[in-house]
Structure 1
Amino acid sequence: MTATLLYCYDPMCSWCWGFRPTWTKLQKALQPLIDSDQLSIQPMLGGLAVDSDTPMAKEMKAKLEATWKNIQSTLGTEFNFDFWQNNTPRRSTYPACRACYVARDMGLEDEMYHAIQEAYYVKAKNPSDLDTLTECAEHIGMNAEGFNKAMQHVKHKQLIEQEILQARQLGLNSFPSLALLKGDTLISIPLDYKDPASMVTAIKKALS
């Protein structure tokens, strides 16, 4: 029976951006287990913040900017702090989550996830805005009109909300988070932001 590694993330979570290089290495290290059908990887959307048109409060802006600085100094992650001057930030990550959900149907979820992160953290664009997300969709080869229709459908059907509820029920409440689902048993995998080795060991131990 194939076990499933659940990776819970939010495309606008700055710690997920910090984790990206190690997450990429971890997936490569797990490839032999995937090839031998012992393991599959299933991304789940975390949903940090619901839809909102309200400009972000000064306190929240200061808190997030401090978090970026902390991640940059701890992990060496690149951030473009122009974002805070060039945009009107909103505490709203559901649109970005929907974009990843829409891209999943075309097998482009990770490409969309990365495109949103690049737009946000490197190019200082606002992924709470549909325009930015549509640009990301076109960048990874999706049709803009089709993407926008699918975004409306996912919002109308509350598909993101259903997935977020499922993640919460599994206890995946922080982003990023990893857990191994083996039959009916869920085993939490502690994160190491700098080195995949301990996570590979924990996953192999949980599989045995």
Structure 2
Amino acid sequence: MSTTLTYLFDPLCGWCYAAAPALARLRATPGVHVALAPTGLFAGAGARPMDAQFAAYAWSNDQRIEKLTGQPFTQAYRDRILGAAEGRFDSGPATLALTAVAETEAERELYVLHALQRARYVDGRDTADAQVLADVLTALGLADAAAKVLSPDAALRGAMAERVSKAQATMHTVGARGVPQLVVTGQGGALRLIGGDALLGPHEGLLAQVLAG
């Protein structure tokens, strides 16, 4: 018997980065399939300039996440990303990159998401920049996806828009607020929401919730 999980997330969400270890363990669990559903929370109308006020807010929140979960947010990230002149907080490019991976080597998408999170929060690389995204993908052996990121066509942009729209519809259906969240697809297609807090707690408790019912 297999269990399908839909992971509602945004690639620039710090709490989603905090949930990465839990997602990796679920992905490695026999019989559990994890499908990524980017919500576009910080893309399009949700994107914004990285001004000093927002950077201070983000760093304060990131420090809280690190204290609670142990996931590191480095000085390189603070200096190069939060402190970047004329920087942008925009998850659209990273969502597009993940869509390119989904269309070329879908089984590696979750791994790539975690690689992009580490690139940003640990290495201080701007994952809102298409060239940075392409460089990360190339280093992971994903040359086809990297090429798509550097020269996105209408089909790729359409696929990204469709994924985001579907994820937002799922959020509405299950009453999810914010990310990260998990949605379990049960027998007959019934959907069951697992709140983001479960992704930050003991793995045994999370797995029990996933497999319940």
**CA-atom RMSD in angstroms:** 2.3
Shift in CA distance, 156/19, structure 1 to aligned 2, threshold 3 Å: closer
Is 1:204 aligned to residue 206 of structure 2? no
Shift in CA distance, 121/16, structure 1 to aligned 2, threshold 3 Å: same
1:184 aligns with 189
1:194 pairs, out of 194, 197, 201, with 201
Structure 1 residue runs without a partner (length 5+) = none
Shift in CA distance, 26/134, structure 1 to aligned 2, threshold 3 Å: same
Alpha-carbon distance between aligned partners in 1 of 2:170 and 2:119, rounded to the nearest angstrom: 30
Q: What residue identity is the alignment partner of 1:204?
A: L
Alpha-carbon distance between aligned partners in 1 of 2:27 and 2:170, rounded to the nearest angstrom: 22
Alpha-carbon distance between aligned partners in 2 of 1:71 and 1:18, rounded to the nearest angstrom: 7
Q: How does 1:1-208 map to 2 (within 5 A)?
A: 3-28=3-28, 30-31=29-30, 34=31, 39-51=32-44, 55-86=49-80, 87-88=84-85, 89-105=87-103, 106-107=105-106, 108-143=108-143, 144-149=146-151, 151-154=152-155, 156-157=157-158, 159-171=159-171, 172-182=176-186, 183-190=188-195, 191-206=198-213
Q: Percent identity?
A: 20
Deviation at residue 96 of structure 1 after TM alignment: 0.3
Shift in CA distance, 175/81, structure 1 to aligned 2, threshold 3 Å: farther
Q: What residue identity is the alignment partner of 1:103?
A: V
Shift in CA distance, 50/146, structure 1 to aligned 2, threshold 3 Å: closer
Alpha-carbon distance between aligned partners in 2 of 1:41 and 1:115, rounded to the nearest angstrom: 17
TM-score of the superposed pair, with normalisation by structure 2: 0.82
CA contact (8 A) 2:100 2:156 kept: no
CA contact (8 A) 1:82 1:124 kept: yes
Alpha-carbon distance between aligned partners in 2 of 1:165 and 1:173, rounded to the nearest angstrom: 15
Alpha-carbon distance between aligned partners in 1 of 2:147 and 2:67, rounded to the nearest angstrom: 40
Structure 2 residue runs without a partner (length 5+) = none
Shift in CA distance, 47/66, structure 1 to aligned 2, threshold 3 Å: same
